[in-house]
Amino acid sequence: MAMITGGELLVRTLVRAGVRNAFGLHGAHLETLFQSCATHDIRIIDMRTEVAAGHAAEGYARSARTLGVAMVTAGPGFTNAITSIANAFLDRTPVLYLAGSAALRDAETNTLQAGIDQVAIARPITRWAHQITTIGEIPRLVAHAIRIATSGARGPVLLDLPMDVLISTIDEDIARIPGTIAIDSPPAPNALAIEQAIRLLANARRPIVMAGAGAYWSDSSEELRRFVEATGVPVYSDFQAHGLFPSNHRLYGGTFHKLADLAVAEDRPDVVLALGVRFGLFTLGRSERLVPARAKIIHVEIDPAEIGRLKDVAVPIVADSRETLRALNVAASAIRWPELSGWQTTIRNARAVHHQRLSALLLPLPHAGEGRGEGPLPLPLAGEGRGEGPSLRIHPYHAVSTVIDCIDDDTIVIGDGAESYHWLNEVIRQNRPGSYITHGFLGAVGFGLGLAIGAQVAHPKRRVLCVAGDGAIGFTLAEFDTLVRHQLPVVVVVMNNRSWAASQHFQEIVSGADHVTGTRLGHARYADAAAAFGCHAQRVTDIGELAPAIKAALASGKPACLDVAIDVAPIPPEIELLMSRQ
């Protein structure tokens, strides 16, 4: 008879579930978990703050389409992870949060890191939260949590783990671990609904597919491409579905916000196949700027609560996106599809006009032959440095364009920052699913380094590049140390305009340029800070330096930070669209 601890029993359950990596920060409450993870070769990426540990678990889950695991200690460890829990909840990211807590025997004794009901706090922002009070129940409840996190409308779960439950012991022969933990049986669509959807699409003159997060999580890339190429229906995608359909494909229209470029009334979509789309922020809410009221919507969503929330739906389909596309492909093969070349040309032209409009922001460089051979003159901005007089700063659009030109399609790109990611949305290549991870419904600025760490751990053979605003990078600056200690060669590009630019622009528009207050940042040198942690680092003040700097950072094989001086004045087109939404 061998006796094992509750921590050992929990880790054995994680091993049975296929967990091989976890993110966390040590605390005494978690000691048995840390020791058991070491025994079973579950790698714990120990972070500098639980804030970033939670986001790293999100990045791992989102880039690998699997369960992420975060371990946080009691009290402040748990409260530090709340932003990540809320972010995962709103974006439906499957993360298991394991939170230590004070021993049950110490209830109401004013002991260390106790006195708050962690489960009650977590319950509104998780799919399920529970405190385990008996060692023998650990395997059942861990398996239950994982099933909830990874099935249906995915999302975070939290298990509260009292210290005395984790250190107590049980005979391993009676501690049964479930043989089946994850569920892989996504719901299929109703046959009548498929027939109605096909009829609508086949009779449409201007149909589109809107691919959302649900389509990404269902791993429907192959089925989506087969459907689109068989029918000729163009595709747009949202923030999580970038790369599900290749952006270099002739039938790709762009991200959702580019639907606004179809401004001519007769060129608006008339039928929309919305795959795993949650209407709201990324579809401009009730606005008709992207999806006109007269368009008939076929809404495929695994969560029935999302259907009809903001848009009238012609055909509701409560089902998995991939299963629905499989059924649509079978039905589509039996009919003759209309000619849509004119509609396809309209969408391609709209993309070209959008690109030309952005390119018009940039003036020719005096020297051709660098980078793309064209780009902006650096823009003057007074007050650079410490009393050194005016300097020349880089247009943010040209900065992100240069970044994307320097990486291959295998690179995973993380976008962080209230405006930085909007500039990235204009230029990002999306030819592999899960290759672009950025803000969702919470708008949690400052999560970039955490996401990048998680993505790099999930894909050790791929390059990971994080583009973050200077405000955003300050949230978790110490995670450069985590990158160095764990030899994670993430390249971080800091878009440094010395401002909380989105807030500054909001103040300028609402209150006037002479009422900007509390939104400007100082002269911090982020490359110097990263170098102090042991990273490859360089400050970039001229656009001609940026491409060589990125290539040098990638070639270094080390974590890297490029501090890029950009101009604060330009506002991303997507932000302007959001500000003007009806």
Active site members: 29, 50, 113, 443
The phi and psi torsions of 560 (rounded to 5 degrees) equal -140, 155
**Does an H or E element contain 301, and which?**
strand 296-301
Q: Which of 348, 350, 331, 298 is nearest to 230 (CA)?
A: 331
What's the rounded Cα separation, in Å, for the pair 113 and 93? 28
- Whether 34 and 26 have beta carbons less than 8 Å apart is answered as yes
Angle at 363 between CA 360 and CA 368, to 5 degrees: 120
DSSP state of 188: P
- Whether 134 and 162 have beta carbons less than 8 Å apart is answered as no
What's the rounded Cα separation, in Å, for the pair 490 and 187? 38
Burial class for 325, CB neighbours closer than 10 Å (0-12, 13-18, 19+): buried
Beta strands 43-46 and 560-565: pairing type?
unpaired
Both tokens assigned to 472: 């955003």
Question: Which three-class secondary structure string do you get for 316-383?
Answer: EEECCHHHHHHHHHHHHCCCCCCCCHHHHHHHHHHHHHHHHHHHCCCCCCCCCCCCCCCCCCCEEECC
Helices and strands (H, E) in the chain, number of each type: 22, 22
Cross-strand pairs, 68: 95
The phi and psi torsions of 439 (rounded to 5 degrees) equal -65, 145
Residue 38 to residues 33, 49, 178, 428, Cα–Cα distance (Å): 9, 20, 22, 39
Beta strands in 470-577 (DSSP E): 491-496, 536-540, 560-565
What's the rounded Cα separation, in Å, for the pair 99 and 418? 30
Both tokens assigned to 76: 């402040």
Q: Where are the alpha helices (DSSP H) in 186-240?
A: 191-202, 213-217, 221-231
Q: Which of 291, 323, 327 is nearest to 310 (CA)?
A: 291
What's the rounded Cα separation, in Å, for the pair 233 and 462? 32
- Determine the distance from the C-alpha atom of residue 303 to the mean position of all C-alpha atoms in its chain, rounded to a whole number: 20
Residue 392 to residues 104, 379, 383, 473, 492, Cα–Cα distance (Å): 61, 5, 11, 23, 22
